[in-house]
Amino acid sequence: MHVLVMGGTHHVGRAVVEVALRRGDTVTTLNRGLSRPPVPGVEALAADRTDPGTVRRALGERSWDAVIDTWAWAPSVVRDSARLPADRVGHYGYVSSRAVYAWPWPPGADESAPLVAGDPGSQDGADYAAPKRGGELAVLEVFGERALLARTGTILGPYEDVGRIP
């Protein structure tokens, strides 16, 4: 598979990149190239996702079987990034969070539990749950049945950078 990871250098994205490379996938990453060097073996594209023009130029007319997106701030950024290659990408996976379920979670809660409100066009990334839900809605808006929303709980691993492992 040809996989595009939006992000891919910190923690979850970096782990996704490494697993994909081990599977034999061809991996492209897109980030600013500011915080950490790319995983060896990827094709690293540089763009600032808050500036869709730079993302458009970086992606060009290429196509991918799947995109994995780890964005955690303003939903409008997810929407812009999803729209750009929408007709050249098979699937769009968004790393969401169980935080999108409204608190308190009912006993035995599953995917049908009530959700927080979110706005896919919002440029506000200050909160956590509402932007994650907005990001989900942005991905669904563009990719519909071709989207996967992974509503994870706590994610630990070798690149954990939130400081939870200690």
Ligand X SMILES: NC(=O)c1ccc[n+]([C@@H]2O[C@H](COP(=O)([O-])OP(=O)(O)OC[C@H]3O[C@@H](n4cnc5c(N)ncnc54)[C@H](OP(=O)(O)O)[C@@H]3O)[C@@H](O)[C@H]2O)c1
**Where on the chain is the footprint of ligand X (CB under 6 A)?**
7-14, 31-35, 48-50, 70, 72, 95, 97, 152, 154-155, 162
Residue 55 or 142: which CB sits closer to ligand X? 55
Measured from the CB of residue 18, what is the shortest distance to ligand X in angstroms? 10
- Determine the residue with CB nearest ligand X: 13
Q: Cβ distance 129 to 99 under 8 Å?
A: yes
Query: Computed over its alpha carbons, how large is the radius of gyration of the chain?
Result: 16
Residue 8 or 120: which CB sits closer to ligand X? 8
Backbone φ and ψ of 146, nearest 5°: -90, 10
Measured from the CB of residue 59, what is the shortest distance to ligand X in angstroms? 12
Residue 42 or 89: which CB sits closer to ligand X? 42
Alpha-helix residue ranges (DSSP H) falling in the chain: 12-23, 52-59, 75-83, 129-143
- Rounded distance, CA 13 to CA 79, Å? 18
Q: How far is CA 152 from CA 32, 90, 92, 94, 116, in A?
A: 25, 22, 16, 11, 15
Measured from the CB of residue 159, what is the shortest distance to ligand X in angstroms? 7
Residue 65 or 161: which CB sits closer to ligand X? 161
- Rounded distance, CA 15 to CA 75, Å? 23
Residue 88 or 159: which CB sits closer to ligand X? 159
3-state secondary structure of 66: strand
Measured from the CB of residue 65, what is the shortest distance to ligand X in angstroms? 18
Measured from the CB of residue 82, what is the shortest distance to ligand X in angstroms? 14
- Rounded distance, CA 50 to CA 73, Å? 10
